[in-house]
Amino acid sequence: MRTNSHSNLKILAFDVFGTVVDWHSGIAREVRALRPTVDGEMFALAWRDGYQPAMRRVMSGELGWTLIDDLHRLILEQILGQFGIADLSESEKHHLNKAWHRLDPWPDVVSGLTRLKSRFTICTLSNGNIGLLADMAKHGGLPWDCILSAEVFRAYKPDPATYLGVAKVFDVTPAEVMLVAAHQDDLAAARACGLQTAYVERSAEFGAAHPKDISPHKDNNWHAQDFLSLADQLGC
Amino acid sequence: MRTNSHSNLKILAFDVFGTVVDWHSGIAREVRALRPTVDGEMFALAWRDGYQPAMRRVMSGELGWTLIDDLHRLILEQILGQFGIADLSESEKHHLNKAWHRLDPWPDVVSGLTRLKSRFTICTLSNGNIGLLADMAKHGGLPWDCILSAEVFRAYKPDPATYLGVAKVFDVTPAEVMLVAAHQDDLAAARACGLQTAYVERSAEFGAAHPKDISPHKDNNWHAQDFLSLADQLGC
């Protein structure tokens, strides 16, 4: 762990999917509500698995700039057949695609963010589109000071334009911004841009049956079990 | 007044300067705090008067895309001499320029927005930059669901891209969005894009000594004395 100091910290930027909200059980629940015979957990994993390849198609230029809502829909169309539910109606597909707007936060999130907000400006930094993140905040009562998104910067994480964009929006130095995320690769990219970083354990991100590696990484400034622990460590 | 219906209304987008916050007395107070001999009210009017011409320089292409923070600074440099305070230090100028981030809301705003938020998604739609609007929200306790700005759309109001941009962000029709503003020209431009419109009286926008015309305009869907009256009318 690097030497920690939060005396110069002003902005906390949060990764969202996995870090703030539990996409795995939310998606599983919603697909089972539509078609009870589907293995909801496998469906959630398959949908999320399509995310990185789809985003790479945008970043390579094969697809033009595309909102996550539209990428989610592309992937959905690809996996429906695999799960034997290609017969979903257009309105069912539209409803299911919006399940990403209705994901629930992890249990510590609202009280943790409320404490962190008392001392810092708290914002999202997600590849999710603005409307999705705003709907999710309203659904879950997430008290963001500001919603920042790939849509604002016209670039997806891990493009440096996103991490540096947060500092630019708030007219602060990169070192005055900290990325909070449950993913080491996201944090590494932020660190390369000069941001501080905090890792948050979300061992059940891929379901309780598939606990993920939550080992500390020495280059993060902070390592927290959850947002309450992060608030403790930051003196909030 | 047009036939009113709020059954299909989902998003309330608010103009900010003048509608939500009292820029006139806020700017007057801050410049007097720096140099008590300055006529703060005239200074505030002069600074705001430079806004439309500066924005036209951006819209005409004479200036590249410029954040309001930077336009405010350009105008500030132009008027300091007229008020005999060209001797302000760089840090005083920087501090004064950020006075726009510290403007207070009108007295009805926080309770009005809180009521309106219970039924609608409430967001800003301002030419102010995102960082300015987020700082202002934190300063004044403004409970926005989302901060939308010219900076998101890379266009200033009254460009249709801004009004239609709100509908696009939230994946709704223009008629499901209402602009709330204290300026008839802003409302007219929104109406031309198919948005609903609500006029809010802010007779003291330019100072109590210069009450402005607050006559109703027949084409607005709603006309409200303040945000509490708007909440009453919308059944919140």
Summary mean pLDDT of chain A: 95
Residues B126, B215 within the same domain = yes
- Tell me which chain B residues have a C-beta less than 8 angstroms from the C-beta of A134: 121, 123, 145-146, 169-170
Tell me what pLDDT residue A143 has.
98
Contact indicator for A98, A212 with CB cutoff of 8 Å: no
Q: Measure the CA–CA gap between B153 and B127, rounded to whole angstroms.
A: 10
| Of residues B134, B137, B146, nearest to A134 (C-beta) | B146
Question: Does residue B4 belong to any structural domain of this protein?
Answer: no
Question: Does residue B151 belong to any structural domain of this protein?
Answer: yes
Tell me what pLDDT residue A5 has.
63
Question: Does residue B153 belong to any structural domain of this protein?
Answer: yes
Residues B111, B210 within the same domain = yes
- Tell me which chain A residues have a C-beta less than 8 angstroms from the C-beta of B129: 169
Residues B225, B120 within the same domain = yes
CB contact under 8 A, B130 and A145: no
For the stretch B149-169, pLDDT in tens is 999 999 999 999 999 999 999
CB contact under 8 A, B134 and A123: yes
- Write down the ipTM of this complex: 0.93
Size of the A and B interface in Cβ pairs below 8 Å: 52
Question: Does residue B164 belong to any structural domain of this protein?
Answer: yes
Residues A68, A166 within the same domain = no
Name the pTM for this structure. 0.95
Which alpha helices (H) appear in B170-226, and where do they start and end? 184-192
Look up the CATH number of the domain holding residue A169.
3.40.50.1000
Tell me what pLDDT residue A73 has.
96
Q: Measure the CA–CA gap between B221 and B219, rounded to whole angstroms.
A: 6
Tell me what pLDDT residue A7 has.
73
Tell me what pLDDT residue B7 has.
74
Q: Measure the CA–CA gap between A124 and A122, rounded to whole angstroms.
A: 7
Tell me what pLDDT residue A6 has.
67
Look up the CATH number of the domain holding residue B49.
1.10.150.240
Amino acid identity at A37: T
Question: Does residue B1 belong to any structural domain of this protein?
Answer: no
Tell me what pLDDT residue A4 has.
59
For the stretch B164-201, pLDDT in tens is 999 999 999 999 999 999 999 999 999 999 999 999 99
| Banded pLDDT at B37 (limits 50, 70, 90) | very high
Amino acid identity at B109: V
Tell me what pLDDT residue A59 has.
85
- Tell me which chain B residues have a C-beta less than 8 angstroms from the C-beta of A131: 169-171
- For residue B87, the enclosing domain spans 23-101
What is the widest separation between alpha-carbon atoms in chain B? 56
| Banded pLDDT at A101 (limits 50, 70, 90) | very high
Residues B168, B200 within the same domain = yes
Tell which of A138, A171, A172 to mutate to test the B interface (max B CBs under 10 Å): A171
Residues A51, A98 within the same domain = yes
Structure tokens at B19: 């509608």
Q: Measure the CA–CA gap between A152 and A134, rounded to whole angstroms.
A: 13
Which of A102, A135, A164 is at the close of a domain?
A102
CB contact under 8 A, B137 and A129: no
Question: Does residue A4 belong to any structural domain of this protein?
Answer: no
The yes-or-no verdict on residue A1 having pLDDT over 60 is no
Contact indicator for A192, A213 with CB cutoff of 8 Å: no
Which of B66, B101, B136 is at the close of a domain?
B101
| Banded pLDDT at A2 (limits 50, 70, 90) | low
Residues A86, A121 within the same domain = no
Summary mean pLDDT of chain B: 95
Q: Nearest C-alpha of chain A: how many angstroms from B143?
A: 8
Which of B46, B69, B101 is at the close of a domain?
B101
CB contact under 8 A, B134 and A151: no
Tell me what pLDDT residue A3 has.
53
Residues A65, A96 within the same domain = yes
The yes-or-no verdict on residue A85 having pLDDT over 80 is yes
Tell which of A146, A173, A176 to mutate to test the B interface (max B CBs under 10 Å): A146
Residues B164, B226 within the same domain = yes
Question: Does residue A199 belong to any structural domain of this protein?
Answer: yes
The number of domains in chain B is 2
CB contact under 8 A, B170 and A134: yes
Residues B89, B109 within the same domain = no
For the four alpha carbons of B180, B186, B190 and B196, in that order, the dihedral sign comes to: positive
Residues B18, B134 within the same domain = yes
Residues B143, B162 within the same domain = yes
CB contact under 8 A, B147 and A151: no
CB contact under 8 A, A130 and B152: yes
Q: CA distances (Å), B8 to each of A87, A199, B169, in order?
A: 30, 42, 17
Tell me what pLDDT residue A149 has.
96
Question: Does residue A3 belong to any structural domain of this protein?
Answer: no
Give the lowest-confidence range in A50-59, A222-231, B192-201.
A50-59
Q: Measure the CA–CA gap between A19 and A90, rounded to whole angstroms.
A: 30
Contact indicator for B173, B163 with CB cutoff of 8 Å: no
The yes-or-no verdict on residue B99 having pLDDT over 80 is yes
